[in-house]
Amino acid sequence: MKKWLLAIMSYGCMLAAMGQYSISGHVQNEEGRPLPGATVQLIDTKYGTSTDNQGSFVFNRLPAGHYTLQVSYVGFVAAKQPVSLSDDVELSIRLEESLFLGDQVVVYATRANEKTPTTYSNVEKEKITERNLGVDLPILLNFTPSVVTTSDAGAGVGYTGMRIRGSDGTRINVTVNGIPLNDSESHGVYWVNMPDFATSVDNIQIQRGVGTSSNGAAAFGATVNLQTNRVSQEAFAQVDNSVGSFHTWKSNVTFNTGLLPNRFNFETRLSRIVSDGYIDRASSDLKSYYAAGGYYGEKTMIKALVFGGKEITYQAWYGTPQARLQNDEAGLQDVIAWGGEYVSQGQIDNLLNSGRQFNYYLYDNEVDNYAQDHYQLHVNHSFSENFNFNGALHYTYGRGYYEQYRQQDLLAAYGLENVLIRDSLITRTDLIRRRWLDNDFYGATYSFNYTNSRVSMTLGGGYNIYDGDHFGEMIWAQYASDSQIRNRYYEGVGIKKDFNSFVKVNYQLAERLNLFGDAQVRAIGYHTYGTDNDLSSYDTGGDYVFINPKGGLTYTLSDQTALYASFAVANREPVRTDFIDAPNGKTPLPETLRNIEAGIRRSGTNVSVEANYYLMQYKNQLVLTGALNDVGSPIRTNVDGSYRTGVELSGKYLLTEQLSWAANVTLSRNRITSFTEVMYDYAFAYGDPQFVWEKNYRNTAISFSPNVIAGSDLAYTTGGLTLQLLSKYVGKQYLDNTGNEERTIDSYLINDVRVSYDFSIGDIQNVRFSVLANNILNVEYASNGYTWGYLWDGWQYQQNNYYPQAGTNFLAGLSVKF
């Protein structure tokens, strides 16, 4: 009997063991991005867990039977899935973002989605993090479609910029959580004021072309919409450190409380980045901070953010003469003789004895010193499952200067009397000056969002005010004349008020056909007055009311494939310098852009592809004339007609489970139908109309608009190891609008290699070690430049200056998340 009992018990244990199975899986968002910290439960059981950093979960030793698996994550619609367990089960669960819960609602009004008939790319957190070892945010976007990036210091730290479809940063609308970031007067975005901001960015959407309506400056090339970090389910602390070539060092620390039981969440970050730069003396000392706190109720979300930075960057704005890059001794002598910038033996020796890393500036404190603080308050309330409101208040305070040592400037150029010493009349002096910008930018944005099974509608907009002071100080002079310390030799004010309101509608006309409509009204009042840096008086500006309509269709061929087409109109006002430096005092006209976008999108498990055609046709586009103002800045003028047209192809192919390839290419044609180049003959009276030389061109190339741009990302991943080969090709660019082959930036192909390894140890959630080798083939290239020239009694002098980029260089980083 005892033997029978033992046999029965053994058999029962064997059956029990045979009846124990596992449920495992991965939780991702709709784009396939892992969702760490998602709550996973088997309803009506004791079993529950959270996903790890890769979004994975597992339940072991479960008896056979029927279960209901529930997955929830803040900001997403909870998902339930029945599971019949008679064997091990592995699941792939994708959660749909909830419009009315979590941080994503703050960018909903300004984002495109799969039903929007425009061209866009989404960059998720993981792709932002990959190369985030200290370089500025534009450099992190270098491998996205139609993007060309540049760095004044040559190594991606300090002053950086990007062009999209050939359009520079002043024509790219940038928002952070729907709040405008572009400077109100110049329309530029100065990323150096926000060092390491990428660490606090969750995702980025780039809409190419006019895109959908947004707050801030009109998009004449693209829209870049940044969303800061979302609420984290789990508490964590993270420390990042990286070091690299040119004494580059980045260090930051981040703390996050996770979602507390009372539905609050707090996050803070402190960062510092320093670098000597590739260019001589092009050093950067950058500090930044980020703090966010939010309340996440069932129907109400309130979130406050404060972030900012302080930068001290040695100036590398001048560029390197072409003769210096080519080691052209005769050309260097021409630069000295005819360039007019080399007035001392020290400057001449610097030019002759430097190499590719030449920096014109020699003064120890030739720096840009600027600080900027941003404050945002977002409130979202869900009135019902279909209707919600999002409102935001914002304030930005910026202040700082750039300091310059000047040799032998005229005293009269600073409003000073000549100095008589004994019998000598002193008309020139060495001096140190600072040019200041002190500004306030504040306002409010709003959006009402309604959605149901057939209609999605947004009524949004904002009202913003800018108040900026421009002034110059002389802080030292060899011959001070009648000046006082910090004497303001010029002073001006710029005031701008910007109101906009828009309505966007997606309407499902049929099962497969969606209609999109978008109409925006934008009213701008701009007034600037005072004394300019050349001591001339100005009182100018303009009032504008723009109507910007957009519309299109999306046709769904299948669950994976859709066609889209749209037409959009955008109008934009001139910038501050267009008013002040207007040729012949003629008030500049506003610009108009008409944009056609048409394409196909296909997404699949192993292959995703997008192909699109675009036509961007400008009226009264403001382009460089070839002339310079008194401080060497280019002057722009309206041209009647110009256009950009091209084809963009992008896609990703999963060759194996470990090996993937993402690539993009842009083929374009960029033309001005009629352009007039302007030059002055300096042998005679400067600015006298009879001594201005003009030359007309027809159907000429638009400057800084390469006909070919391509990017590639070949990645191999196994376990925690990732190997990447990143390639970027940029075709030839013209430095001006004349199509002159002697004024070009040569094409270049750059290859970078990245190696990273992720693992966990005990209670440490994640450790990542990364090495990034940039420009591994040590290509000598320049990513930006400018050209300028003049006549002397009919003889023409022309000089090209370039911004050379670093050869092979390295960054290595260690990130630890607790």
Per-residue model confidence as pLDDT tens digits over 41-87: 888 777 778 787 778 888 888 888 888 888 877 667 778 888 888 88
Q: Which two tokens stand for residue 618?
A: 């400008």
Find which of 37-41, 597-601, 640-644 is predicted with most confidence, using mean pLDDT.
Answer: 597-601
Residue 107: pLDDT band (50, 70, 90) is confident
178 pLDDT above the threshold of 50: yes
pTM: 0.88
Indicate the residue type of 448: F
What pLDDT shows up at residue 817?
93
Average pLDDT over residues 285-300: 94
Task: Answer yes or no: is pLDDT of 136 > 90.
Answer: yes
Q: For position 10, what pLDDT does the model report?
A: 46
CA nearest neighbour of 496 among 587, 570, 586, 575: 575
What pLDDT is attached to residue 67?
86
**Both tokens assigned to 129:** 């993090």
Residues of the chain above pLDDT 70, percent = 94
Mean pLDDT, residues 751-769 taken together: 92
Each residue's pLDDT tens digit, 430-461: 999 999 999 999 999 999 999 988 999 999 99
The helix-helix angle for 345-353 and 329-338 (nearest 10°) equals: 160
Which of 313, 306, 311, 273 minimizes the C-alpha distance to 290?
306
Distance, CA of 82 to CA of 189 (rounded, Å): 50
What pLDDT band is residue 633 in, cutting at 50, 70 and 90? low
- Using 50, 70 and 90 to split pLDDT, how confident is the model at 814? very high
Residue 258 contacts residue 234 (beta carbons within 8 Å): yes
- How confident is the model at residue 175, as a pLDDT? 96
Residue 99 reports pLDDT greater than 60: no
Which residues sit opposite 69 in a β-bridge? 42, 81
**Encoded tokens for 490:** 């010029």
- How high is the pLDDT of residue 12? 42
**Which of the four pLDDT bands, split at 50, 70 and 90, describes residue 149?**
very high
Kindly list the distances between the CA atom of residue 166 and the CA atoms of 143, 221, 436, 705, 785, in Å, as whole numbers in the listed order. Answer: 15, 8, 30, 4, 14
pLDDT interval class at 690 (50, 70, 90): low
How many angstroms separate the CA atoms of 90 and 593, rounded? 51
Helix (H, G, I), strand (E, B) or coil at 720: coil
pLDDT bucket at 629, cuts 50 / 70 / 90:
low
| Overall residue count recorded for the chain in this entry | 818
Which pLDDT value is given to residue 474?
A: 93
Average pLDDT over residues 479-503: 92
The pLDDT of 564-573, averaged and rounded, is 96
**Non-local CB neighbours of 741 within 8 Å, separated by 6+ positions:** none
- Cα gap 769→755, rounded to integer Å: 8
pLDDT at position 625:
65
Please tell me whether residue 211 adopts helix, strand or coil conformation: coil
Share of the chain above pLDDT 90, in %: 69
- Residue 63, pLDDT score: 85
Of the pLDDT bands very low, low, confident and very high (cuts 50, 70, 90), residue 280 is: very high
Residue 695, Cβ density class (10 Å: 0-12 exposed, 13-18 middle, ≥19 buried): exposed
- Separation of alpha carbons 496 and 59, rounded Å: 59
What is the dihedral angle through the alpha carbons of 631, 634, 637, 641, rounded to the nearest 10 degrees? Answer: 180
Q: Give the number of other Cβ atoms within 10 Å of residue 445's Cβ.
A: 28
Name the band, by pLDDT with cuts 50, 70 and 90, for residue 547.
Answer: very high
Q: How crowded is residue 407: how many other Cβ atoms within 10 Å of its Cβ? A: 15
Place of tokens 């994503």: 104
pLDDT at 631: 52
Per-residue confidence band for 37, with pLDDT thresholds at 50, 70 and 90: confident
Q: What's the rounded mean pLDDT across residues 595-610?
A: 92
Question: Among all chains, which residue has been given the structure tokens 């939780």?
Answer: 27
Structure tokens, 803: 């911004």
Confidence of residue 478 (pLDDT cuts 50, 70, 90): very high
pLDDT bracket for residue 7 (50, 70, 90): very low
Specify the 3-state DSSP secondary structure of 322: helix
Q: Give the DSSP H or E segment for 435.
A: strand 428-451
- Cα–Cα distance, 48 to 23 (Å, whole number): 12
- The residue-averaged pLDDT of 173-198 equals 95
Token pair, residue 138, equals: 């534009």
pLDDT of residue 687: 53
- Tell me the pLDDT tens digit for each residue of 320-356: 999 999 999 999 999 999 988 888 899 999 999 999 9
| Across 737-752, average pLDDT | 96
**Statement: residue 630 has pLDDT above 70:** no
Residue-by-residue DSSP string for 1-62: -HHHHHHHHHHHHHHHHHTEEEEEEEEE-TTS-B-TT-EEEETTSS-EEE--TTSEEEEEEE
Q: Which of 29-38, 638-647, 658-667, 699-708 has the lowest mean pLDDT?
A: 29-38
Give the β-pairing of 20-28 and 89-94. parallel
